[in-house]
Structure 1
Amino acid sequence: MEETSPKKSELKKSCVNCGAELTYAPGTTELKCDYCGYTQTIAPSENEFEELELKPYLEKMGSQSHSEEITMLHCKNCGANQHIEENYKSLSCIYCGSPLIIEDAYKEEWILPGAVLPFQIDQKKAHQILKKWVDGLWFAPDNLKKAAIDPDNTRGLYAPYWTFDAQLYANYTGQRGEYYYVSRTVGSGKNRRTVRERRTRWYPASGNVSGFVDDTLVRASNQKKGVLPMDVARWNLKMLQPFDSSYLSGFVTEKYTIPLLDGHNESNKVAESIADTWVRRDIGGDTQQVSSMNMKLSEETFKHILLPVYVSTYRYKGKRYNFFVNGQSGIISGERPYSFWKIFFMVLAILCVIGAIYLFS
């Protein structure tokens, strides 16, 4: 019988001292045993980022050698597809907290990540950031502050993204506007005055622009709720590392639910915006009008990358709230509930003060 090799994204590392699973220690290049403290250095990769040629993947949708199967659990409540490491004793969806049943695990094909941005802050630090943020919220329900005390409510997630590279070429026609000013007299009598008006002279313009578009970042997952806020979803991609499953150990890994084709279409919109900026800069002047622009992309490549974020879920009066902490920078954001009674008594207190001032005045 042919022996199957373990999958790159599902390799487990065991402690040589006690046999427990090693987990990645954020901000380091080490795996650590949480039981006996043993550490193991993650060997630096000899390979560069795996930039994959886009066209073959769009034609065959990832059936090449850079695809593999991974064990997934699908959340029926919010739609997230998650690969959960074995060291999580309680299986629940990282976004909505719904229970996940291990017997429902299934194998699913995915495009192997080409790069990963390792966590730079650990769960303890992320929990401290969350707790400080919650403590500073006005009119927050007491239950929210109590929930923030439990660090188990804050879990680390590698969120999937697509990045696209391409050579961009665009030719254009348009007009370059140059400002000039004229003086004009307005009004009559005492209201008569001279004003300075800005006007524009237009000159025809045409030409072409070209350049390299690097690492256009496109979100690759889409749930009913739990989408990362824009201020949290900002990473320094210069710190990306060639993919190594060691960095995933101890964290939840989410599988992309936005197909490569849809991600590519979204990246084209970004490329068009970049081309428009380049064209306007090329036209020059004080203002520009772009009449036509024909953009072409060539030498297109992509990679599937994993980016770090901590997620905390809270329910209040039947509604779910998600809080997010960027696993690299520590930036926090999210929805928050308000306590009706705290707001009510605050308004009542203000009205009482106003009434007392009115009576004594």
Structure 2
Amino acid sequence: MSSTPTPSEAEAQPAAAGASLRTFPCRECGAPLAFAPGTGRLSCQRCGTLNELPQSDAAELSAAREELDYQRYLARAAGQEPQIDAHPVVCPGCGAQTQFGQNIVASRCAFCATPIVSAQARSRRMIQPRLVAPFKLTAVQAQAVFAQWISSRWFAPTALKRTVRQMNTTGRAGGTETENGARGVYLPYWTFDATSDSRYSGQKGIHRTETETRTDANGQQTTQSRTVTDWYAVSGQVSLAFDDQLVIASPSVPEHLARVLDHWDLSALQPYSDDFVAGFVVEAYQRGLEDGFAQARVAFDAAIEQAVRRDIGGDEQRIHRIDTQFDAIRFKHILLPVWISAYQFNGKRYNVVVNGQTGEVEGDRPYSAWKILFAVLAALLVVGLIYMFAGGMPQ
């Protein structure tokens, strides 16, 4: 007799290959629903009715927040699957064939905008998301944040600021997309917990002051002081515990724009439900579990080095060697909300990212050569005036 898998074991079992598409009909009129950011409900695209989401209880939340054993899943090759190729999906709403891009498991129909979740595409990943942080910002709010950010850039061209202010920010029902191309995307993340035990060797530097008196050829004595560092060999051990180190599992956001994706309120995470992602793009993880921990370890190693320096103490530290053993490595797979958009200015494309939870924004933008030139000339003028007035003052 086969035993029933535990929740953690079931998490790594893919869905049936022939699983159907999931859509979200309105309880009033049957039209497609989309998750409405900031409301915690689904909004009808036709009649505007707000449909309630199923509520999770404390037990479901606790089970969803349970960390999984890293070594156990790695041994089963979970989290190391190949990419999900672009694939056609037949919309259950209008019957048209729409295309899901690489590693996309949820999106909208390109013809009727019906939100679709493809369970078949999702089944290509052994590890399914257990938690999701719902969008707080609507598409219109994200566009307003971006416009405010552009307006605050001193050296942005005036024409760009005017263009952004005039952008049409009319959003689709549910606030999941703007007409100018902003896309609401749930990006895949890993979170890692671990404990570390590190043995180190190095040197502790202690500063002291030496004073030297010299006599010149005229018999005048001068006293000079200098700081000298005495070095002492040291060794020791430090132990740390790490909790919820985030690692993005998608390359969709360029690294230089990912700063806005470092700050999240993880207490807002909810047990995953397709209802939260209705109307949004959902990416499957592309950075595997093992590579994800390698990225987390970069942050862990930096924290360990700082702990070693504190343990050595003194005025300066030299670290010769750190040997670290990680233990109790655990992880979660979660989805976090991001607005991704691009705009054209003078024939060039610029990318913008807005954190869908906090409203932090980062983006590429052009610079006004004239504004920079005027700023440099103004600075030179100020320096010249200061020099002129300082030089004209009586000695």
- TM-score of the aligned structures, taking structure 1 as reference length: 0.75
Match of 2:124 in 1: 109
Q: Aligned pair count?
A: 324
3-state SS in 2 of match to 1:119: coil
Match of 1:128 in 2: 144
Computing the radius of gyration from Cα coordinates, the structure with the larger value is 2
Match of 1:81 in 2: 103
What percentage of residue pairs aligned between the two structures are identical?
Answer: 33
Find out whether 1:177 has 2:177 as its counterpart. no
Alignment of 1:127-276 (within 5 A): 127-137=143-153, 138-139=156-157, 141-142=159-160, 144-145=163-164, 148-150=167-169, 151-152=178-179, 153-185=181-213, 188=216, 193-223=222-252, 226-227=254-255, 229-234=257-262, 235-276=264-305
Aligned partner of 2:64: which letter?
E
Shift of 1:230: 3.6
Match of 2:32 in 1: 21
Is the contact between residue 179 and residue 201 of structure 1 (CA under 8 Å) also seen in structure 2? yes
Aligned partner of 2:205: which letter?
G
Question: Partners of 1:228 and 1:42 in 2: how far apart?
Answer: 38
Find out whether 1:40 has 2:49 as its counterpart. no
Is the contact between residue 186 and residue 193 of structure 1 (CA under 8 Å) also seen in structure 2? yes
Question: Partners of 1:202 and 1:233 in 2: how far apart?
Answer: 42
Residues 222-278 of structure 1 deviation map (CA, whole Å, 9 limit, x = unaligned): 25x744614311223333233222221121112222222221222222222222122
3-state SS in 1 of match to 2:259: coil
Shift of 1:294: 1.0
Aligned partner of 1:175: which letter?
Q
Match of 1:277 in 2: 306
Shift of 1:166: 0.9
Is the contact between residue 79 and residue 290 of structure 2 (CA under 8 Å) also seen in structure 1? no
Is the contact between residue 141 and residue 339 of structure 1 (CA under 8 Å) also seen in structure 2? no
Once the two structures are overlaid, the 10-residue window that deviates more, 237-246 or 157-166, is 237-246
Is the contact between residue 160 and residue 254 of structure 1 (CA under 8 Å) also seen in structure 2? yes
Residues 47-73 of structure 1 deviation map (CA, whole Å, 9 limit, x = unaligned): 331422111322332189xx9x98965
Residues 117-160 of structure 1 deviation map (CA, whole Å, 9 limit, x = unaligned): 22122222111112233345531555953773343222211112
Gaps of 5+ in 1: 92-104, 355-361
3-state SS in 1 of match to 2:279: coil
- TM-score of the aligned structures, taking structure 2 as reference length: 0.69
Find out whether 1:331 has 2:360 as its counterpart. yes
Find out whether 1:312 has 2:341 as its counterpart. yes
Q: 1:200 to 1:123 in 2, by over 3 A?
A: same
